[in-house]
Structure 1
Amino acid sequence: MILIADGGSTKTHWCVTGRHTDTRFFFTEGYNPYYITEKYLVTSLKESLIPGYDWDEVEEVHFYGAGCAEDKYDFMRNALSKVFRHARIFIAMDLLAAARALLGRNAGFAAILGTGTNSCLYDGNRITHNIDSLGFILGDEGSGGYIGKKLVCDYIRGEMPDEVGSRFRETYGYTADELIDRIYTQPMANRFCAGFCKFITSDPTAHPYLMGIVRNAFEQLFEKLVCRYPAYETYSFNCIGSVAYYFQDILAEVAEKYHMPLGRIVISPMEGLVRYHTLTEN
């Protein structure tokens, strides 16, 4: 029995599969090792596993996660080994999951636009070049966290158009002080800010102000990250993530502006990962 996980900062998508096991998909919360403790991960995961399986029979766990840089491999491996006690555990960045899901064994450019941002060049086997997105505080241009942070800033400073500001206030009911307290003193500020992207996707008017925030975020993504890759125009822009998926019309316009054709845009890498690991096993 094999368990595959695509772990974002907000949620983790799991698939349990195998020769003698029905393939099932399920979700848990996200487990970014930069924002949680080992005890939190173990407790949360044990409470979230779907019934009907003997999880001690898992032979392999392939966990691709946001924040799973090499210095966090041991942290994740130790935590997961307390849940899946007899499994061989493989840890990799969510970026490798994106590349494998989008490109398989072909070379190209792959990116993630979800709660956070990441991108790379991939040679069909491994990541060959990665420009650090610098995370929620310093970077993550184009991400849900980046877009949400801009919305919050404009709301607190009174820079939203009146009709947008009124709808934001009615939708969430936060005062400026409550927003500042939530972001600066409570955990998961990146996830909290990214949640405000739903305010844009639910806008029935496609207000130019809101579309402008998204467009500017994507332009910053290209200026600060994508355009810094060698010969980036020779690749197509392939991307995993809800932000890329729901705003792909704007993303296509921005990519064209920077002379990069839009490639595959997929909301989740799981289907591609299952295909990748099934083919590898066979």
Structure 2
Amino acid sequence: MILIADSGSTKCDWILIDRFGNNLCSKTTIGINPLNISQNNIKDIILEISELSEKRNLIDEIHFYGAGCGTKTSNEKIKSSLYSIFKKAKLIKVEEDIIAAVHATTEIPGVIAILGTGSNCCYFDGEKVIQYAPSLGYLLADEASGNYFGKELLKSFYLQNMPSSLAKEFKTMFGADLEQLFYNLYDLKQPNAYLASYAIFMFQHRDHPFIENLLYNGIKIFVDNYLMLYAKELENHPIHFVGSIAYYSQDIINRIVVDRGFTVKSFVKKPINNLINHIISTQHPLQKIV
């Protein structure tokens, strides 16, 4: 059996398949980002999935794609947690979420952008992934991501820049308890996921000019600061967008990108199902794994 996981900071999609790609089990848990979660918590999250716990000795191969897995320390943290549970696994491969985005969208050259809880961008030349700028995380960057828009909504609400009609609905939905807000921001283990939870408000009010302007400006910043680093590659290759923020903002993204003369090839909300085809088509038979 092969276990595939695609994790952001908000949620992690798990799928268990046989060697022919047949779906044996699909589950979603909270996100597993090794930068802000302990090894014990990682193990607890996985063990809560009874279907995986029961089949742990039957799983030969694991592919874990995740936000925060770009460093050696984070990579080993995930890998060690998985090996401690799935002791019969012959292969455990841990890669960044940007690699999942590539594998889920294209096998030929193209630029891939993630707009989910966080944001990221790269160029795939057909063989390797190239990044001209590192992912700086939710504190320094993540423009146009869920947590970015969460921060913008909160600032506009508390600084009274949000139109009164929207502010009233925002308060009804989330409350206005500053003490609770600060607790969630500074005491919870995943503040970026908490901030991203506010993004749903935008897509419930897409028809309001304030929200449209917020989305447009945030996405434009991402395009100008990150996507334009790949302007040369974009002269000959398309862009693929991955993540829920991108998926629900397709019209704005197309408007901004097309105005610059580039082509958007696809929008993928959840990479997990596309990853099955990639892994089955590229992996060697399990009996050859050493």
Distance (whole Å) between structure 2 residues aligned to residue 221 and residue 44 of structure 1: 32
Secondary structure in 2 matching 1:260:
coil
- 8 A contact 1:232–1:260 mirrored in 2: no
Higher normalized contact order (CA 8 Å, seq sep 6+, divided by chain length)? 2
- 8 A contact 1:226–1:232 mirrored in 2: no
- 8 A contact 2:62–2:92 mirrored in 1: yes
Distance (whole Å) between structure 2 residues aligned to residue 93 and residue 51 of structure 1: 22
The AA in structure 2 aligned to 1:29 is I
Query: For the aligned residues, what is the CA RMSD?
Result: 1.8
Aligned counterpart, 1:54: 55
1:55 Cα offset (Å): 1.5
Structure 2 counterparts to residues 84-163 of structure 1, below 5 A: 84-87=86-89, 88-103=91-106, 105-163=107-165
The AA in structure 2 aligned to 1:30 is G
Distance (whole Å) between structure 2 residues aligned to residue 280 and residue 170 of structure 1: 50
Determine if the alignment matches structure 1 residue 237 to structure 2 residue 239.
yes
Distance (whole Å) between structure 1 residues aligned to residue 254 and residue 21 of structure 2: 40
- 8 A contact 1:6–1:65 mirrored in 2: yes
The 1:20/1:5 distance shift into structure 2, 3 A limit, reads: same
Determine if the alignment matches structure 1 residue 220 to structure 2 residue 221.
yes
Distance (whole Å) between structure 2 residues aligned to residue 52 and residue 156 of structure 1: 45
1:233 Cα offset (Å): 3.2
- Normalised by the size of structure 2, how large is the TM-score? 0.91
Aligned counterpart, 1:39: 40
Secondary structure in 2 matching 1:196:
helix
The number of residue pairs the alignment matches comes to: 280
1:130-172 CA distance string (max 9 Å, x none): 4223111110011111111100111111110110111100111
1:189 aligns with one of 188, 191, 198: 191
Stretches of structure 1 lacking an aligned partner (at least 5 in a row): none
1:53 Cα offset (Å): 4.7
Q: Among all aligned residue pairs of Structure 1 and Structure 2, give the percentage whose two residues are the same amino acid.
A: 29
The 1:86/1:262 distance shift into structure 2, 3 A limit, reads: same
1:104-149 CA distance string (max 9 Å, x none): x211111111000011001223212342231111100111111111
Distance (whole Å) between structure 2 residues aligned to residue 155 and residue 176 of structure 1: 12
1:278 Cα offset (Å): 1.0
The AA in structure 2 aligned to 1:96 is I
- 8 A contact 1:2–1:59 mirrored in 2: yes
Secondary structure in 1 matching 2:270:
coil
Stretch deviating more after TM superposition (87-96 or 173-182) = 173-182
1:176 Cα offset (Å): 3.2
Stretch deviating more after TM superposition (1-10 or 168-177) = 168-177
Aligned counterpart, 1:169: 171
